[in-house]
A and B are shown apart, each in its own frame.
Chain A
Amino acid sequence: GAGVSQSPRYKVAKRGQDVALRCDPISGHVSLFWYQQALGQGPEFLTYFQNEAQLDKSGLPSDRFFAERPEGSVSTLKIQRTQQEDSAVYLCASSLGTGNEKLFFGSGTQLSVL
């Protein structure tokens, strides 16, 4: 595709529900990142994939957060038993190689937990 695509664009969840956020990176991009952006703040790193391998998940805030990229392309970020503090924009970014210098971001999924 022309860019990084994320879906859904908006997600409203009741506290305790599970949600799944999808990212379609640019075709052929090796590296994929998930970031969390709270209102009025900069993006914060969650996790990093190189192809299908999750090389770094140090930014995931709790064991309720889980990410996968089983075939090295599409990635899913899953949040179990959502809490109000999970409300944020979740951004996906991809880059062509492993140097991760030029990141292409999607428009994000805005998650609101009620």
Chain B
Amino acid sequence: QQQVKQSPQSLIVQKGGIPIINCAYENTAFDYFPWYQQFPGKGPALLIAIRPDVSEKKEGRFTISFNKSAKQFSLHIMDSQPGDSATYFCATRYSGSARQLTFGSGTQLTVLP
């Protein structure tokens, strides 16, 4: 059961470009929406996260935009660098007791020098 749909599957941008990764969810009981970054051979690492009562959050070059009515959220990377090349996962957290994260299928980002 795919509860989080992520797109695109892969993305190639030039250095300085602004890649945008999108996620859509169905369950309105989700209450926390993080983005994780994963490099090859490593575990995912938390990048930035947002709660549904906020429409946008910025941390450094990373911005989350959240559209509660459309049940969509996206990650924007400003002034992208080759070091940003990684796989990015959106996730949602159910507000129930277990509170585990459900991850999207991932976006492989390549930033060309």
Contacts and interface: CB of A to CB of B under 8 A. Distances in A.
A106 B6 CA distance: 23
Given A40-B106, A42-B89, A42-B104, A105 B99 contact: no
Given A43-B103, A93-B43, A105-B44, 11 more contacts: A33-B101, A42-B89, A42-B104, A42-B106, A100-B93, A101-B32, A102-B46, A103-B101, A105-B43, A107-B43, A108-B43
Complex A-B, nearest 9 residue pairs according to Cβ-Cβ distance, in ascending order:
A105-B43, A42-B103, A56-B98, A100-B99, A45-B100, A42-B89, A43-B103, A105-B44, A42-B106
13 contacts: A40-B106, A41-B106, A42-B103, A42-B104, A43-B89, A44-B103, A56-B97, A100-B93, A101-B32, A101-B34, A102-B46, A103-B46, A108-B43
B113 interface: no
A107 B98 contact: no
Interface string A89-106: 001010000111111011
A24 B45 CA distance: 17
B97 A43 contact: no
Interface of B: 6, 32, 34, 41-46, 49, 89, 91, 93, 97-106
A106 B41 CA distance: 10
Nearest to B32: A101
Contacts of A58: 98
Contacts of A43: 44, 89, 101, 103
Contacts of A56: 97-98, 100
Contacts of A4: 43
Nearest to B108: A40
